[in-house]
Structures are given as C-alpha cells and as structure tokens.
C-alpha cells in the first residue's frame, strides 16, 4: 500500500492520533510559543514549523507515493520520546520536553509507515529541531567567546577611525555612552536566527552536502560581522550625532538591520555556492 492510500483509508484514525499528539504536547507547545514571543533570540521559531510544512508540501508528490511498511523500531523511538518527555516534564527541563516532540514525530512516522516514508520525510521533521531554543549553558559557551571577539574587533575598528573608546570585557565605553555587547544571559544576538536562515537556504538552493555545510557554517562569521557592524555604527552615531539616537538605533539595529544584512550576505554566498555546483556539474 502506498502512503496516499493508507492515509485515505485510515483518515479517522490519523485524525485521532493527531489529536492525541496535540493533547500530550499541548503544555509543552504553549510554553515554546511563549518563548518565541518574548525571547528575541528565537523569534524565528514561528516560521520554522511553517517552513517545515512547506518543505514537506514541496516534496509531497514523492512522499505520498512511498510504499508503507510499518516498522517496530518506530515503537522503540516512541518509547524513547516518552521517557524524554516524562523525565523532562518532571524536572522542568524544557529542552528535553521539546526535543521529545520531534523524536515522537519521527517515531510515529516510523512505526506507522516505516523506513521508506520516514527517509523521505526526514528533512522536514529534523528541520523542526531549529524551532527549539538550545539550553543557555550550551549557547553561552559558544556565544561568549564570540561576544568578546565582536567587542574586541569593533573597538579596534573604532580606534582605527580615530575614536576614543575603552573596552572592558564585553563592555565598550565611549566618552558619552556605555555599550554592553549583548545583555547578560542573551548571548550573541541572532546567531540562532542566522543558523536557521542558512539551513533553510542550504536546502532550498544547494544540492551537495559539502556546499550545504559551508553555507551553514558561514552563519557564525556572518553573525560576528553583522554584530560588529551594529556596534561600530552605534559608536559612530553616539560620537557624531547623539547618544540617545545611538541607543535607539542600537536596539533597532539589533533586530531588523542585523537581520537584513545577514540575509543579504547569506543570499550572496548561497548564490556563489550554487554557481560553483552548476559549474562542477557541467
């Protein structure tokens, strides 16, 4: 039986199952959406499920024609997700609970439809992992050295154009303004947004694994460059125009400006990598 037929034949059961998944993960999802809403590092979370659905839709012709061969290994995956959810729930460990949701989805697909279908749906399912905020202990370990790098390089650049600045840790002091390079416990702004952006671009435009890895890895230098631009522009504004304006712009730049700049950079790199792929294939 093909997936298409199976879905049609058991549509009531499938709908019931979807409701059960919703019931089990409702409290987890509710908190996750709240975090997307309040945590500027994860505003992109809203788009991840939509893009995942779109990735699935794009490949739907192929997916629905996959043969269904239910696999018991899926039940083991579902049990693993159950253990994760129970442990995470009882110890209020959000990352574990949220991760469990993606594992559960994978398990359900494997259990009901088997490896063929799962293989074909793997990318959209795993893509959902990008909607989960990573634990701050992990995030900070990576982002803190980058934050210092941003502070360091920005100060050097500002000194180069002849400005008076002093740096102390991740704090940059101008004669009339003190800038902290990202607030405490927030890490390098938009790093995860950029990673999500580049993963999306990698699967949209590129075919070869190596090229995709290059594009995703580029998110780190792009985050550093765009955050540096934010600090430098703010510094110059503070000095030449007014500190109030700089603070306003500082926050605006943190969101929209950095994002647009990164979008352009990622787009350009994706374009170049695509050209390389096409040239190699020819």
Partner 1 sequence: MQRRLLIACALLLMLGGLTNFHENLNVPLARPLKEFPQQVNGWRQVQDVTFSEGILGVLRATDYLFRDYVDAGGRRMNLYIGFHDGGPKSGPIHSPRNCLPGSGWQLESQRPVTVSGPDGEVEVVRAEYSKDGETTVFYYWFSVRDRVVTDEYSLKLMELFSSLTMRRKDSSFIRVAMDQSVEMDGDGAAFKLFFREFYPLIREFLPS
Residues that bind partner 1 (CB under 8 A): 6, 9-10, 13-14, 16-17, 20-21, 23-28, 70, 75, 78-79, 82, 85-87, 89-93, 104, 108, 111-112, 136-137, 140, 144, 168-171, 184-185, 187
Both tokens of residue 32? 């996750």
Of 15 and 241, which has the nearer Cβ to partner 1?
15
Q: Are 77 and 106 in contact (CB under 8 A)?
A: yes
Q: Are 206 and 270 in contact (CB under 8 A)?
A: yes
Least Å from the CB of residue 105 to partner 1 = 11
Least Å from the CB of residue 84 to partner 1 = 11
CA distances from 270 to 53, 166, 219, 222, 226 (A): 22, 37, 12, 13, 17
Of 28 and 269, which has the nearer Cβ to partner 1?
28
CA distances from 128 to 48, 118, 188, 215 (A): 6, 14, 22, 19
- Of 101, 138, 82, the C-alpha closest to 27 is 101
Of 5 and 244, which has the nearer Cβ to partner 1?
5
- Of 136, 229, 243, the C-alpha closest to 179 is 243
Least Å from the CB of residue 264 to partner 1 = 30
Of 10 and 57, which has the nearer Cβ to partner 1?
10
Least Å from the CB of residue 90 to partner 1 = 4
Of 171 and 268, which has the nearer Cβ to partner 1?
171
Least Å from the CB of residue 275 to partner 1 = 41
DSSP H or E segment with residue 249: helix 243-252
């Amino acid at each position: 039986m093909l997936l298409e037929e199976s879905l049609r034949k058991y549509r009531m059961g499938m709908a019931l199952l979807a409701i059960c998944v919703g019931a089990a993960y409702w409290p987890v999802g509710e908190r996750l959406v709240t975090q997307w809403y309040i945590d500027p590092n994860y505003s992109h979370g809203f788009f991840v499920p939509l893009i995942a659905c779109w990735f699935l839709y794009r490949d739907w012709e192929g997916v629905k024609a996959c043969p269904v061969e239910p696999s018991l290994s899926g039940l083991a995956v579902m049990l693993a997700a159950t253990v994760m959810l129970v442990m995470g729930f009882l110890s209020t460990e959000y990352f574990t609970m949220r991760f469990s949701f993606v594992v559960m989805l994978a398990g359900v697909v494997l259990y009901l439809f088997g490896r063929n279908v799962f293989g074909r749906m793997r990318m959209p399912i795993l893509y959902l992992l990008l909607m989960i905020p990573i634990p701050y202990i992990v995030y900070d370990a990576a982002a803190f050295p980058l934050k210092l790098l941003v502070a360091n390089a920005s100060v050097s650049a500002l000194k180069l154009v002849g400005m008076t600045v002093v740096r102390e840790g991740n704090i940059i002091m101008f004669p009339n303004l003190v800038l902290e390079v990202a607030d405490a416990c927030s890490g390098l702004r938009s790093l995860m947004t950029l990673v999500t952006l580049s993963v999306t671009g990698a699967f949209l435009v590129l075919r070869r694994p190596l090229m995709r890895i290059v594009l995703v890895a580029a998110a780190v230098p792009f985050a550093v460059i765009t955050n540096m631009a934010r600090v430098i522009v703010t510094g110059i504004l503070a000095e030449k125009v007014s500190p109030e304006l700089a603070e306003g712009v500082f926050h605006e730049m943190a969101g929209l400006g950095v994002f647009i700049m990164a979008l352009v950079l990622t787009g350009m790199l994706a374009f170049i990598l695509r050209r390389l792929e096409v040239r190699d294939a020819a």
